[in-house]
Amino acid sequence: MDCPRCEIELMPVENESGSFSCCPECSGIWTDVSELNRLLLRHNLPVLEKLGGHVNHDDSLGMCPDCQIELVTIEGGERRSMAYDTCEHCGGIFVDTDSEETLETFEQAVEAIIGFYRRFQNKPQGK
């Protein structure tokens, strides 16, 4: 499975709690919606459907690594300054974490995803 941004092979990172696929080039993370929702709930964040966001029909990252259908961009955060991409067919989610380091462990991937979705929320953290 290739990264929708870089088109290089994604690396699996996993532990007994779950698994993700991470890009060694851009540190983007590919996951399915159920895995993401479990992770969000474990960290006291609302599930994806409750986070809000708006579809940007003019922006597309590329093709779904699983089913090769064009991804849809969802924007959110303060002034829609953040975005993630999703596949409307398989429910896969691609998060561009903007991490400075390659995400090589499950724990690093979790930290990057949780940090992203905390910033993605429209309301300030803790409210």
What is the tens place of the pLDDT at every residue in 18-59? 899 999 999 999 999 999 999 999 999 988 888 878 898 888
How much is the pLDDT for 123?
53
Residue-level length of the chain: 127
Range of the domain at 113: 31-120
Residue 25 within a domain: no
Q: Are 80 and 13 in contact (CB under 8 A)?
A: no
For the chain, what is the domain count?
1
Residue 19 within a domain: no
Residue 98 within a domain: yes
Residue with tokens 């940090």: 115
Token digits of residue 31: 């996951």
Residue 76 within a domain: yes
- Does residue 127 carry a pLDDT above 70? no
